[in-house]
Each structure stands twice: as C-alpha cells, then as structure tokens.
Chains A and B, each alone.
Chain A
Amino acid sequence: MAGSSFLRGLPLVPSLVLLAVFLAGPILYCVYDAFTDAQLTGAAETHFVGLANFTRAFADPDFLNALWLTLVFVVGSAVVGQNTLGLSLAVLAEKATRPVRSLTNAVVIAAWVLPEIVAGYLMYAFFYQQGALNEVLGVLGLPRQNWLYTLPILAVCLANVWRGTAFSMMVYSAALAEVPRELVEAAEMDGAGVWHRLWHVTLPVIRRSIMTNLMLITLQTLSVFGLIYAMTRGGPGNKSQTLPVFMYQQAFQNSLIGYGTAIALVLLVVGALFSVVYLKLLKVEED
C-alpha cells in the first residue's frame, strides 16, 4: 500500500525539485544574504552580521522616507486609485451599450498590456516639462507644471493608476456578472436607490472579489520598479524613492547587496501586513 502511494507521488518529484531549485532556492539565498555584509565590490569575503542590516535600515532616514513613500504609493495608486476607478468603470460598463463597453475596455486594457518600461516611458513623455500634459494645459490657458520635479510622487501615482486600472476593472466586471439578478431586483422592489443597492447588495456579494483584487494590486504595486525608475529614478533627491527603488540603489549603485536584500525582506513583510489588514477588514474567513 505504502509502495503504491509512493509510486503515485513519484511523478511529482521533478516538479518539486524544480520548485525547490528555482523558487525556494533564491528566496532562501536572499534571506541568507540579508544577514550578511555581502558587497558587489570592495570586499572579497562576506561575514554573517546578524540583524545589523535591519537596525541600520530603521536608523536610516532615507529608508524611513522610502517606507513612507511606499505606503503613499500603494494606498494612493492601488487601494484608492486603481481599486475605486476599476470598480466604477466596471459598474458603468454594465449599464453601457455594447460598443461603448468594448471601446472603453480596449482603451483601458491597452495601458495594461504594455510592458512596464514602455508604459514608464510613455508616462515620462506625458508628464515631463515639455510633455503632452503641459501642452494641453498651455492650450487651455492653465499654468504649466514641472510634474516630475515638483510633485514626482503624485505623477508616479497617476501613472500607476493609468497602467493598473484595467486589472481591477476586469476582476470587478467578472464579479458583477455573478451578482444574482433577483437579489438586485428584490432590493429595487423594496425601494432601494442606486447607492443603497450598490452598498448593501452588490458590494457584500462581491466581497471575496474585492479582497482578492485588493490583495493582488497591493502586491503588484508594492513591487513596481520599472515605472518609477523610468520616470524619475526615485528623484529628484529622494522624493519618489519607494522601497524597490531604494533597494536597487543600495544593492547596485552603492554595491551593498546585503543591505539591499534586507530591504527586500522588509518589503515582503509590508506586503504580508497589508494582506492581514485586508483579511481582518473584509472578514472573508467567516463564510
């Protein structure tokens, strides 16, 4: 009996080996590196330094700045921006006629299918001093702004909303299609208005989708690097330096691989904290 179940499990072994080598391996190596003083250049040996990289990070004003900007970026562009805009678009699309819906979908999804670096470059061209946005403002007689210089974090937040809304929109479109018609109609019969129906009927029903969507876009946004790097390189100064950009600069510009990987682990913890908050807030585990 034991022999046959072993044989049945045997075909799984190669994939387990692959997962161990290519997935668990790098993660474990990263965890190990975070506790060493590994450098890209300047020292041939690496030493185990315990928690030194972490204590250094939390005493480093640049790190705390990056942590704060990461929170601003995630809450501003993902939780508020992509999430609500995606939901609104999905709700509106449900009511819209077929051609309007197809057209909107095509436009929104176009931003999403672009490679990150292309999107970053387009957004750079849109926001920079002689860019499209300022041309439009000029034509309208409004004052031009040096967006990437004066308000870089707002510019990258807007860019990320532009790029990522399609994902939320698609998740919510699928979820809304699953809301039972009779529930909505019953509420309508009872005299509930549009907002009441949305708040008391639709949203509770699609709660699981909201939670999945929030979780996914938060994790995606936490790790956004190319978009910000292409637009501002984290600058000017450190005014748009989120954790991934800070991590890159420490690991590859300052050559401090150990410190950089420690920051990567902190980023992982930040992601986990967000997930816990979502689980608690939406109480999905109850049903």
Chain B
Amino acid sequence: MRKKLLAAFAITVATTLSAAGCGGSASGSGGNSIKVVYWQHLDQNDHKQQTFLTTMKRSFEKAHPGKKIDIIPVTASENDYYTKIQLMMRSPSTAPDLVYEDTALINSDIASGYLKPIDAYVAKWADWDSFADAAKGAVSSPADGKTYGVPDDTDTRGIWYNQNLLKKAGIATPWQPKTWQDILDVARTIKKKLPGVTPMNLYTGQAGGEQSTMQGFEMLLYGTGAAGDSLYDAKTKKWIVGSQGFKDALTFVHDVYSENLGLSKSTALGPNAGTEVGTKLLPENKLAINIDGSWMANNWLTTGPRPWPGWSRTMASAAMPTQHGQAPGQVSMSGGWAWSIPAKAKNPDLAWQFTKAIKDKANSTNWNIIESTTAVRTDVAADPKYLDATPTNKFFTGLVKYTHFRPALPKYPQVSNAITKAMESVTTGQSSVSDAAKTYDQDLATAVGSDSTAKGTR
C-alpha cells in the first residue's frame, strides 16, 4: 500500500515538475542564432519587407557559416504590433535579439528599460557618420543621451490627388491648396460633380492608431497658429490643453465627416482604412484627395501589393497648407522606424552584426527604393539611383524643410490614443467639437499629470 502511494506520489511530482518546467527552459536564440522581429502589415499582399529581410538573411548566413537568422513577422495593426513587441521584450524567454521600432515609441520603450544602448557598437562603425543628425536624434534618449537604435528610414507627409478626377470636376491642375478652406471647397465641388467618388480621405479614429494621429490630426494641428508647439511646448516642457488650434483641427475632422466628404464612417473607423485607400480606392479612381505619407507609391510598384503601372500619370502630390495659409505656408510631419536591440536579447553581438549588414550603403539604398521611404543616410539621399527611383521622391524629400517631429516622450503613445479618441467621437457625431476637446484635456491630464499641462494661447 505504502509502496503504491509512494509510486503515485513520485509520478505526480514528476508530471508537476515537467509541467512547471515548460515555462523556464524556453527554446530560443542561442550563441549562433538570433530572432529578428518586424511588423507585417495586415495587408497580406504586402511582402516587401519579408522579401527584403529574407534576402538579407540568406546572404548573411552564407557570409557567416554556422550563424542562423530567424525572421519573425508580427502580423497586426500598428498599435497591436507595439503591444506585442512590448510583451515579447518583457521576458528574457521571449525577447527577440533585434526588433523593428517606431521612433514615436522608442522613448517610451527606452523609459521602460526594454532596449539596450548601442553606443559601444556604433563608436566602432565607420558608417555611423553617414546617418543624418536628425535621424540620430530620433533614436537617442533625451534622458541619458545614449543611442538606442539604428535609424531605418524616415518619411514626410502631404497630399496625394488624382489629377484626372480633379480635372473632371473642373479644378485646375497642378493643384496646390493654400488654406484648409481650399481643400474643403474642392472636396465639396467633387462631391457635387462626381457622384460615386469619395472626395477626400482624412484618417481618423482609434482603430487607425498612429495613422489617425499623425497623417490625420497632426497634419492639421501643426498647421495652426502655435505650429510646432501645438501639442507640446518643448521650452516650458508642458503639454498643451484648451487651445483654439486643437478645436479648429477637430472642427476640420467634424466638417469632413458630417458633410460626408470622407470615407464612409464605418470604413474610416475600421482597422483596414489604410489598405482600402492605398490598394483599392486610389488605384480604382474612386478617391480624389488623400492626405497621406510619402510612401504611398510603394503600394503601386510592381513589387507592391497592388501594382498600378500608370500611377504616376494619374496621381500627383501637393504640400499640406497651413490653416489660413500663414507662414511658412506648408506643413509636414516626419516619423520613421529604427532597428533596436532589446535589453533582454540573448545574442546582442550577432544582432549588431546583422544590423550593420542590412544598414550598409548598398542595402540601405535598396531598401529605401523598395519601400519608397525617405533616406536617413546622407550618402543615400544624394544618390541619383534613389532620387530617381520613384517620381515623387524628390517632392517629398523637399518637404523636409517644413516638417515637424512628434514630441519624442514616454507619454506620447497615451497622448496619441487620447487624440484618436477625440477624433473618433467627432467623426461619429457622438460628441460636439468642444466636448471632445474637453474630454481630450481631461484624458491628457490623466495621462501626463495635470502639473505637466498648460493652457494653449493660440
């Protein structure tokens, strides 16, 4: 009896231990392999980054026998991607060795201790001098001055419009709106003259995440009176509440959606608005004006998700005007991505080797061309091969002088969420502009602390 009991006990203990053990000995990157995590867009036809990284992996493994690179896509909407990599980076058993980071988020992740400073690595890398200073600024922490990533690309934002549709509606092209009013007027004309065509797209709502905040709202907000200080005043280190500019930008959102000048509300507020615009509405000549990023053409290249050979004859670009056309007349926003090594990476040295390989001049040029993004290496930016690769590259590279960067602070992601919430409530008509602005002020105070906010004067 006693023996049986003991045997039963031994078996249960053994199962317990093995069950409990499965959390501890997670397989993963060892000395000779690394895990590289990147963002796979929800648009499953877009495999440009996967193809690029796989090519890089092959050539790297060939050049370094015995080393192994694991390319891991995280398929998600933009905000979900952030959440997933943050969860991965929390634990040593799931942390990747190299991760694709949005520079809007990098400071927040640095403050969380998720990322490893790479100063010792870049100090010994001759190519580092070729990276533009603004791009280096985007990957270094204002708190400790250290560098936490290698910039991958940057971008600007402006207006894409369909020349044929504008002409058909009787609007002279090339078109360059001078004020917000100009944009609304043209959109109203198109609505009247071209039934079946969506006059314009302004990203909005919570599902769109940073796409709504940056392409949608900040392109408006930074064109109001306070310009670069509309969201956060860098001198006083205060977030701005109660400003007229914020309300004006929300009013624009409200006008677009209450007059049905934008996408149908359910599409605009869904997670696939970006894909719908880039791969459907624009190539099918069903959308006239689109406030969007410099990279839009990557949808239509032969390698893109929706090849559109004649796009450059149909689509043209214009700069986003300031609210009343006040100086400097134009406005743009810039962001960008970077490659970072998580603090809990098992094999940072090999991750760094791989980073150097994908960010050398030839591969950087190649990648900027594939993705139609703006170069962060000064030597690439001057390369005719890059400048002539896409007809709009020169135009959007020229917007750099009007561009603004988002406040690169740990609280920014929460502020961005509060903005999308305010946008969504005026888009649906659930709140009036002043109520939505009031709610934003409260959300902002909760997120950053009311002692870090100040009343906006403009």
The interface of chain A, by Cβ under 8 A from chain B, is 7-8, 10-11, 13-15, 17-18, 21, 39-44, 56, 60-61, 128-129, 146, 148-149, 233, 235-239, 249, 252-256
Q: Which of A7, A41, A129, A236 has the most CB of B within 10 A?
A: A41
* Minimum distance in angstroms from B176 CB to a CB of chain A: 34
Of residues 19 to 35 in B, which have CB atoms within 8 Å of A's CB atoms?
19-20
Chain A's closest residue to B84 (CB) is: A252
Contact call B410/A42, Cβ cutoff below 8 A? yes
* Minimum distance in angstroms from A252 CB to a CB of chain B: 5
Contact call A44/B5, Cβ cutoff below 8 A? no
Contact call A14/B13, Cβ cutoff below 8 A? yes
Per DSSP, are chain B's interface residues mostly helix, strand or loop, or mixed? Answer: helix
Contact call A41/B112, Cβ cutoff below 8 A? yes
Chain B's closest residue to A21 (CB) is: B20
Contact call A42/B266, Cβ cutoff below 8 A? no
Chain B's closest residue to A44 (CB) is: B113
Contact call B111/A44, Cβ cutoff below 8 A? yes
Q: Which of B19, B109, B111, B430 contacts A237 (CB 8 A)?
A: B430
| Contact partners of B2 in chain A: CB under 8 A | 7
**In the complex where A11-B9, A128-B266 touch, is A233 in contact with B271 (Cβ < 8 A)?**
yes
* Minimum distance in angstroms from A151 CB to a CB of chain B: 13
Per DSSP, are chain A's interface residues mostly helix, strand or loop, or mixed? Answer: loop
| Contact partners of B15 in chain A: CB under 8 A | 14
User: How many residue pairs, one in A and one in B, have C-beta atoms under 8 Å apart?
Assistant: 103
Contact call B425/A255, Cβ cutoff below 8 A? no
B411 contacts partner chain A, Cβ-Cβ < 8 Å? yes
Q: Which of A7, A235, A255 contacts B424 (CB 8 A)?
A: A235
**In the complex where A14-B16, A41-B105 touch, is A236 in contact with B266 (Cβ < 8 A)?**
yes
**In the complex where A233-B207, A237-B424 touch, is A255 in contact with B414 (Cβ < 8 A)?**
yes
Chain B's closest residue to A146 (CB) is: B266
| Contact partners of A10 in chain B: CB under 8 A | 5, 9
The CA of A3 and the CA of B439, in the complex, are separated in Å by 66
Contact call B83/A253, Cβ cutoff below 8 A? yes
| Contact partners of A235 in chain B: CB under 8 A | 205-207, 269, 424, 428
Contact call B428/A237, Cβ cutoff below 8 A? yes
Interface string of B426-452 (1 = CB under 8 A from A): 011011000000010000001100000
25 contacts between A and B (CB under 8 A): A7-B5, A8-B5, A11-B12, A14-B9, A14-B12, A14-B16, A21-B20, A39-B112, A40-B83, A40-B87, A41-B86, A41-B111, A41-B112, A42-B112, A44-B111, A56-B446, A146-B266, A235-B205, A235-B428, A236-B205, A236-B265, A236-B427, A239-B428, A252-B83, A253-B83
